Amino acid sequence: MRRLLLTCLLIPLVFPAGASAANAKLVACVPATSAQQRSATFEARARRMRGSERIQVSFTLQVRDTTQPGWHRVVAAGLDEWLTSDSGVRRYLYAKTVQNLSAPAAYRTVVRFRWLDSRGAVRARSRATSRVCHQPDLRPNLIATQIDVVAPLLVSEQVHYSVTLHNSGLTASGPFSVALRAGEHELAPLALPGLAPGERRVITFIGPPCAAGGPLTVTVDANLAVDERDEDDNVLVAPCPVS
């Protein structure tokens, strides 16, 4: 789990008539390509109860991701500690912003509330859960999906290697290069200006014929220029077709 940076804000609040005595809200959810820019802001809101002197709130952040099933608690500074209002306040709002979030993942907060009397004894308790902040992984993801070999050219007796590329990510990539190895032959890499999200593009290498059944290896983003969602699917290996 990435280290979380927490910022808090205390704001005066006027509750509408009929509002719950305590609730938790997701007020901002900011997805981004980099973890440093991803954030979620949650609010805890509570009203004074009869006989209470102070109000306390405690935020528990929960995450759901691919590391384990279900929701689990995030351990970080500023979480799971009691925050206490001034004496005699009628309404209490505390906003907590959590930054440097992982993706893909979903985040929510469970807020516990306590109402204390003038001696510090707990008069009432409550709990509320916020809506979920979804943090998709927005980075591009470059893959090669197919390699085709075209018949030899009459003049050069070389072949065309046709490679289909795909950006399966949610944002455009920057420039990158593609390398192809046909058996023992390392062909000159091709440079591309980038791919839009969801875009497919066919590129062509020209080189010596490959041996039937021998390996054809395509490496996308061969110079590691693009920060991708998955860096482990950049290589495609296929057998050279039998002529």
DSSP SS3 for 16: coil
The string over 201-230, giving b where at least 16 C-beta atoms fall within 10 Å of a residue's C-beta and e elsewhere, is eeeebebebbeeeeebbbbbbbeeebebbe
Same domain as 22, residue 129: yes
Q: How many domains does one find in the chain?
A: 2
Cα angle 91, 96, 123 (rounded to 5 degrees) comes to 40
Could you give the CA distance from residue 215 to residue 220 in angstroms, rounded to a whole number?
16
Per-residue pLDDT of the chain (243 residues), as tens digits, is 445 655 544 443 334 444 468 999 999 999 999 889 999 999 999 999 988 999 999 999 999 998 888 999 999 888 999 999 999 999 999 999 999 999 999 999 999 999 999 999 999 999 999 999 999 999 999 999 999 998 765 556 789 999 999 999 999 999 999 999 998 899 999 999 999 999 999 999 999 988 889 999 999 999 999 999 999 999 999 999 866
Same domain as 75, residue 39: yes
Same domain as 127, residue 20: yes
Same domain as 157, residue 127: no
Q: Which of 115, 135, 155 is the last residue of a domain?
A: 135
Query: Domain range holding 30?
Result: 5-135
Tokens of 178: 């593609």
CATH number of residue 111's parent domain:
2.60.40.10
- The model's pTM: 0.76
Instruction: Give which of 234, 161, 166, 236 is closest to 204, Cα–Cα.
Output: 161
Q: Which of 78, 104, 135 is the last residue of a domain?
A: 135
Q: Which of 135, 161, 191 is the last residue of a domain?
A: 135
Same domain as 190, residue 113: no
